[in-house]
A and B are shown apart, each in its own frame.
Chain A
Amino acid sequence: MSTDSHNSSLSKLGTELLVQTGVKVTHCYQCGKCTAGCPLAEEMDYPPSLVMRMLQTGNPELEERVLRSFSIWVCLTCEMCFARCPMSIDIPKMMDYLREKAIKEKKANPKAKEIIAFHKSFLDSIKYTGRLYEIGLFAGYKSRTLKILDDLSLAPKMMKRGKLNILPEMIHDRSGIAAIFRKTVKKNKN
């Protein structure tokens, strides 16, 4: 850690968060209630209160670690932390922002590969049809993660129960949906 390890007023990411999400990282007094109630805390590399602390310091090295963390991806946005936080800090909103930023800057944690693959496959599916096509989702997910054998038995079981549509449901205004994707996700990539 450099000699200038703490610089909260000059925090670049902290300022960004305040402007873009309204979250003021210095408002957190590190009580730990969010971590205490987080269902995924024990699977995170940095539990939520620790993420807040790392962002509070304004230390660029720690900010980088947050963006590259696994925590932000395994967070379920279950909103439990925000519901209990005594300082009403919108952690879920902050997590969403950090996730978008991590992808944009190509810093997403490699351990989150499957999770991100799932989100992307889901979105790919609705980009073309307007509604989720589960088979398309599974196909996309397996091709991204190469987890061909996972859940293999699930598909026939679902089909037996009438829960898996062979054909996708297509909405009429597919071009409208494609346009939405173009103006949002595609724009981000550039």
Chain B
Amino acid sequence: MTLGFYPGCSLKGSSREYAESVLAVAGAFDIFLEEISDWNCCGATAAHNINRELSVALPARILSLAEKQGFEEIVVPCAACFSRLTVTKHELSADPSLRERICEINKMDYKGSVRILNIIQMLDKYVTPSLESRVTKPFDHKVACYYGCYLVRPHEILKFDREEDPQSMDDLMLKIGATPIDWAFKTECCGAGLSVSRTRSVGRLSGKIISDAVDRGAEAMVVVCPMCHSNLDMRRDAINTFLGEKIGIPVLYVTQAIGLAVGIDRKALALQRHFVKVTI
């Protein structure tokens, strides 16, 4: 099983552990992820905040590359990249004149044939069928599944799970023996791109998320987005300042949780790279 793999910039740098855990889990389930050759940054939030055409051209280039390289499906673990690519695909199919303009800017053909999968879609399709039987160390903890913004909104375009109280990650966690809690901040924004420019705001927004999860007895946060992870993990000091106390709840990527449950080595899952120690 060969799938195209779009890591995105964070997975190569500040969120390497996500990429490492994705590849480890893929390896364990015989999924071969082939990185798209010469991929570029999707533009993230910066591009659409500054220039519309740029924000469509950059993701379009990635999709054109994937098409040219013969991929039918590509996996995009970063939720923000997933959102940018899927929205771009939608806009290009809805507006032929935009499509023409973008092909001209990129100097590349674009057919719109590539299927874009987020990490949960990939896991549901290729891992879930055999997951329960492969669990050797049930992840027997209460977890707060944090979906963030970009996996489920805007629903009409992403068409994934549901906008309010999504359940796809919770279902996955049940399969590895975890107890996903019902909590109130599943899809509230963590502070996104304000991590550097307005860290205090991130402290407030991410602080509310952590606080609700901890109050309801969560032992770990589970995430699917490197930006969310960074805000909840790397920016824990800002969160602690806002809450007025030190909170130690670890933040795991969904692939790390699954990896632990099927017995993959902790180092392979790169848990040591986190800012907040992962003791579970």
Taken together as a complex, chains A and B put the C-alpha atoms of A184 and B12 apart, in Å, by 26
Contacts of A162 in B (CB 8 A): 16, 273
Q: Which of B139-196 contact A (CB under 8 A)?
A: 149-150, 153-155, 163, 187-189, 191-194, 196
Does any Cβ of B come within 8 Å of A134's Cβ?
A: yes
Does B69 make an interface contact (CB < 8 A)? no
A183–B272 CB distance below 8 A: no
Q: Is the CB of B188 within 8 A of A123?
A: no
A171 and B14: CB pair below 8 A?
A: no
Residues of B within 8 A of A40 (CB): 201
Contact call A141/B196, Cβ cutoff below 8 A: yes
Q: A115-B194, A118-B196, A164-B14 are in contact. Are A96 and B48 (CB under 8 A)?
A: yes
B130 interface hit (Cβ, 8 Å): no
Residues of B within 8 A of A164 (CB): 13-14
The answer, among A80, A131, A134, for a CB contact under 8 Å with B149, is: A80
Contact B13 A165 (CB under 8 A): yes
Interchain nearest-CB distance for A75 vs B (Å): 9
Residues in chain A near residue B163, CB distance under 8 A = 83
Is B125 engaged at the interface, CB distance under 8 Å to the other chain?
A: no
What's the nearest-Cβ distance from chain B to residue A35, in Å?
15
Contact indicator per residue, chain A 117-140, by CB within 8 Å of chain B (1) or not (0): 111101100100011101000100
Tell whether B45 is near chain A: CB-to-CB under 8 Å. yes
Total residues of chain B contacting the partner, CB 8 A: 54
Q: Is B71 on the interface with A (CB-CB < 8 A)? A: no
- In the complex the two chains form, is A163's CB within 8 Å of B105's CB? no
Asked whether A39 lies within 8 Å of B153 as measured between CB atoms, the reply is no
Residue of B nearest to A183 (CB): B105
User: Main secondary structure on chain A at its contact with chain B?
Assistant: helix
User: A185, B54: Cβ atoms under 8 Å?
Assistant: yes
- Residue contact B198 to A165, C-beta cutoff 8 Å: no
Tell whether B279 is near chain A: CB-to-CB under 8 Å.
no
- In the complex, the answer to whether B14 meets A134 with C-beta atoms within 8 Å is yes
B133 within 8 A of A: no
Q: Considering the chains assembled together, what is the distance between the CA atoms of A163 and B234 in angstroms?
A: 11
Residues of chain A with a CB closer than 8 A to B41's CB: 126, 130-132
Q: Is A68 an interface residue (CB 8 A)?
A: no
B154 vs chain A, min Cβ distance (A)? 5
* Chain A residues near B192 (CB-CB < 8 A): 76-78
Please determine whether B50 and A163 come into contact, CB atoms closer than 8 angstroms. Answer: no
Q: List 24 A-B contacts (CB under 8 A).
A: A39-B205, A76-B191, A78-B189, A78-B192, A80-B149, A83-B154, A97-B52, A100-B51, A103-B50, A119-B193, A123-B43, A123-B47, A126-B43, A130-B41, A134-B14, A150-B199, A151-B199, A154-B234, A161-B272, A164-B14, A165-B12, A171-B39, A173-B38, A185-B54
Task: Using CB atoms and an 8 Å cutoff, list the residues of chain B in contact with chain A.
Answer: 9-10, 12-16, 38-41, 43-55, 57-58, 61, 105-107, 149-150, 153-155, 163, 187-189, 191-194, 196-199, 201, 205, 234, 272-275
A interface residues with partner B (beta carbon < 8 Å): 39-40, 43, 74, 76-80, 82-83, 92, 96-97, 99-100, 103, 114-115, 117-120, 122-123, 126, 130-132, 134, 138, 141, 150-151, 154, 157-158, 161-165, 169, 171-173, 176-177, 179-181, 183-185, 188
Q: Which 5 A-B pairs have the closest CB atoms?
A: A132-B9, A78-B189, A79-B153, A122-B46, A114-B197
**7 extra interface residue pairs, beta carbon distance < 8 Å, beyond A83-B153, A103-B50, A132-B9:** A39-B188, A79-B153, A82-B153, A132-B13, A151-B199, A183-B53, A184-B54
